[in-house]
Every structure is written in structure tokens, then in C-alpha cells.
Copies of this chain bind each other. A is one copy, B any other.
């Protein structure tokens, strides 16, 4: 992936800092004649927006998106559609609370990108995290809203499956539950537990990590490419590029290390539709870097935010030892709001590979071969 872009045919470029005038992105390569309005994108943005419960930062970011280009309203139908030209999206920053940045202007918060930006660039916009702010992920969600429309029948959903050391009970998985609790948690009982658990974390001025699972259904078989253009390699990069992510796995993931070949191989039968029916999905929908037609399943681990109230040992940008306390309106579990971000990244990668596959191979499926 490039500095601030990803994707080959469906290509997303973002810009903007937390406390600058605006953040934005350019979605290039989108197919033409796809109906697209600001409302479509706003719907996804609203799911990521902070301040919707006491479990996320209390910053108010209305995140009102404007489509600046790449769409046109057909006069006959009155439907606004993509034109195939680049889609420019913009969100003005409005809640740039004027405040004293004295503590972090010159001091490095352990676990933050403060030091690494300085050691790389020698300059950084420290206000609200600048370019490394989670605010950038709003543009990923916006781009993802476009991506979802590129692949017919694609449904990408995400869920929080672990908070701190506590995993959900997968036997209670209910997608409808996701919208009923502030954690995107598919297990109602776990959600109730997380409410108490996270209150405790928050009151201590601490923070905690989480694991998110993304499931993409309706992914046609054949997406991806051998070797370096593997669908799962691009998924891994896309998810690891989200702020605070420290691990990515596909299907059985790290659990696959403990399996035998017999256990791990997903046996195949023929379904009623004449297509392969897999009897399990340890592969997470990707084998040899190419989608099988099963659900693509990816998980990623989000570390706890380092913006905590407890003092930590540090150094400053002039090379002196110090300690630092991070005040402000922070998420006690940034993993929660990473759910729609993860969905968006998966959608973008799949959309890109959908177009890449169509480019190389065309629109007809060669399988099954004639006898």
C-alpha cells in the first residue's frame, strides 16, 4: 500500500488531520452508473460516530459528508449515480475545541505515534493526534460505503467478539443483536457483561483492548490472485493499517497452528445449485489467496488506547526524560468503533479484487469445465 492510498482498480486516498479544516478522501476507479447519495454514506458514518454512548469518546463530531465529485443526476430518472470519475468526499472538522496542548506538544505519550512521527518527519501536528488520529477512519468508512455497492450481493458485517480477556459465546451469536447494544456485540449476555466491565475500566481512567470479527457474505469465488496479490494478503494489510490494530487472522487463524491436516481441510460436496458446498470454513473463505465463495471471515486485535489518565514515564522531543499524563475525551475501548471501520476496509479490498478479477478474466465463470 502507498503512503495514504490503497487498492489498485478501486483506489482510496485519504487526507486530513484531526484538528485541521477538514478530512477527505478520493475514491478512484469506481464503476459508473451505481446509485450513490450522501445519505448512503452518512448511514455508515453514523455507525462509527463517537459520542453515541458513554462507552465512546464524548467528542461531538457530526461527520457530515459531502460528495464533491464523481456523481451525476440523470435528468430522466432523477437518480444520482456514479460517473466512473473520482469521487471526492469531504467532512469539515467542527469540534476542534481550543485547548491547552502543553502536555503533549513536546512530550511523547508512550504507545502513541508521537515519537515515531517526530523521529521520521521532525514536525507533527500534535493537536488531537493530527494525522494519526482515529478521525481518519471516518474516511475509510465513507469509502467503504461506496465499495459495498460495487459488488452485487455483497454483505459485510462486523462484530466485537472479545473485550479484554473476555470472549463472547459464539453459540449465542445473533446478528440482530449487533444493533441493540453499544458494543456491536452479537451475544446479548456478553454485551450486558461488557457494559459493567467497561464502566469499571473507564472509571479507573484506564483502557482495554478488543477483538473484532468481520464476515463478508456474497463474495464470488475466484477473487484474489496467486502469490502476492492474494485476497487475504490485501485483507491483512487493510486491517493492520487501522489504528491500534496489532494482529489479523483469516478463518481459523492462529488456531490453525494447533490443527491437523484432517481437521483443517474443508471437505467439499455439491450443493443444490451445482456449486461446491464446503462442510466447514477453517479457510475463512480464502484458499491459495483466492476466494472460495464461502463467507470471508477475518478477525483483528485492537490494542487498548494509550491515552489514559495514569502518568507514564517518557521523554520529550528535545531529548529529555519526563513523564506524561493524557487528559481528554478518549475511548476506553477503541475496538468498539473499529467495527464499522473493519467492515469498510474489507469491503474496499473485496471491491478492488472484484474489479481486478473482472479485468483479468472477464465476467463469465469457467467452472465447472465441460467433460
Contacts and interface: CB of A to CB of B under 8 A. Distances in A.
Number of identical monomers bound together in the oligomeric complex: 4
Contacts of A292: 115-116, 119
Contacts of A308: 260-262, 265
B209 A259 contact: yes
Contacts of A233: 1, 237-238, 240-241
A8 interface: yes
Point out which of A74, A121, A208, A259 has the most chain B C-beta atoms below 10 A from its C-beta. A121
B119 A222 contact: yes
Nearest to A75: B105
A276 interface: yes
A266 interface: yes
B303 A257 contact: yes
Interface string A214-245: 00000001111111111011111111110100
A211 interface: yes
Interface in A1-30: 1-6, 8-9, 11, 13-17, 20-24, 26, 28-30
A78 interface: no
Point out which of A22, A74, A240 has the most chain B C-beta atoms below 10 A from its C-beta. A240
A290 B14 CA distance: 18
Contacts of A368: 317-319
A257 to B, nearest CB: 4
A346 B211 CA distance: 25
B221 A14 contact: no
Interface stretch (A42-50, A173-181, A182-190, A350-358): A350-358
B13 A26 contact: yes
B2 A26 contact: no
A111 B249 CA distance: 17
A332 to B, nearest CB: 9
B228 A5 contact: yes
A291 interface: yes
Contacts of A246: 232, 249-254, 256, 284
Interface string A114-151: 01111111111100001110001000000000000000
A349 to B, nearest CB: 11
Nearest to A251: B246
Contact of A210 (B82, B257, B261, B274): B257
Given A207-B261, A240-B230, A365-B119, A70 B268 contact: no
15 contacts: A1-B228, A4-B26, A5-B13, A22-B69, A22-B88, A69-B131, A111-B265, A116-B289, A118-B366, A120-B223, A208-B259, A233-B240, A256-B301, A261-B305, A265-B312
